[in-house]
């Protein structure tokens, strides 16, 4: 069994949601964490989780792309729903950078603080902003910071930082992309005890579905690649990553 730790099933791509969920169940996905990127998707995530109780759970937060529309109080209110298991996604993304760095950083700080106040794990999106991510996390860590670097695109320094802080590292379909050599090297460098699986659907469909709509049922393709890279069985990858996700999101 697997836990899908990062999906975006509230996107308009999923008009056939009940079939998508049925396929996920058939593929051995035991739970799905649905991540949010703005206020609307956060509200929809909570609704979705209520629609599939015990199967879909919600993370609420604002993506760095949307960091200007900071609605911290509303996110806090949404987080009081029992279906909410994390804050996110949040973080820093200097690749597209439609917002100023300062606006992103302020939002990131607010969410790091909120997650600790609510004692929830945080789902961090860090792209081309590794130094600032580490610096801000160090400054905002009041000793209660837990979470995951999702769709990991960092290097050894961030893996080391994750080790020091007890953060998890999550890999998506990129591990199967021919040119993503760095990502595969990161898989090898990341201990299995820190690893989580995600699809980040509808984006980043793994091979052989690359370029098409992604969905949680494709998660085993990512596990298969990780097993191959680490020279272990798929069962072992499934077992350990599922246990890691249970620990992080408190699925007991």
Q: Which single residue brings its beta carbon nearest to Zn ion?
A: 125
| Feature table: binding site for a divalent metal cation | 6, 8, 89, 125, 150, 200
Minimum Å gap between C-beta 226 and Zn ion is: 19
Subset of 54-113 contacting Zn ion (CB under 5 A): 89
Minimum Å gap between C-beta 4 and Zn ion is: 12
Minimum Å gap between C-beta 172 and Zn ion is: 9
By the rule CB under 5 A, 125 interacts with Zn ion: yes
11 or 234, CB closer to Zn ion? 11
Give the Cα-Cα-Cα angle 102, 105, 109 (nearest 5 degrees): 140
35 or 227, CB closer to Zn ion? 35
Minimum Å gap between C-beta 83 and Zn ion is: 18
Subset of 177-196 contacting Zn ion (CB under 5 A): none
Q: Summarize as ranges the residues that interact with Zn ion (CB under 5 A).
A: 89, 125, 200
């Amino acid at each position: 069994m697997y836990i899908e730790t990062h999906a975006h099933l509230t996107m308009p791509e999923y008009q056939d949601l009940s079939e998508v969920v049925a396929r996920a169940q058939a593929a051995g996905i035991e739970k799905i964490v649905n991540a949010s990127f703005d206020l609307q998707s956060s509200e929809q995530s909570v609704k979705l989780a209520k629609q599939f109780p015990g199967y879909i759970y919600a993370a609420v937060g604002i993506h760095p792309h949307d960091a200007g529309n900071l609605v911290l109080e509303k996110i806090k209110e949404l987080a009081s729903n029992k279906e909410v298991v994390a804050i996110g996604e949040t973080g820093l993304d200097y690749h597209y950078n439609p917002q100023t760095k300062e606006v992103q950083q302020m939002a990131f700080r607010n969410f790091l603080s909120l997650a600790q106040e609510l004692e929830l794990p945080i789902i961090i999106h860090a792209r081309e902003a590794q130094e600032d991510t580490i610096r801000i996390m160090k400054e905002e860590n009041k000793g209660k910071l837990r979470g995951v670097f999702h769709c990991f695109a960092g290097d050894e320094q961030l893996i080391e930082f994750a080790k020091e802080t007890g953060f998890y590292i999550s890999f998506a379909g990129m591990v199967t992309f021919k040119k993503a050599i760095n990502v595969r090297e990161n898989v090898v460098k990341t201990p299995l005890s820190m690893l989580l699986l995600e699809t980040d659907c509808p984006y980043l469909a793994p091979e052989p579905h690359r370029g098409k709509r992604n969905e949680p049922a494709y998660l085993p393709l990512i596990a298969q690649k990780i097993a191959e890279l680490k020279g272990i069985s798929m069962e072992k990858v499934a077992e350990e990553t599922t246990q890691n996700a249970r620990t992080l999101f408190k699925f007991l």
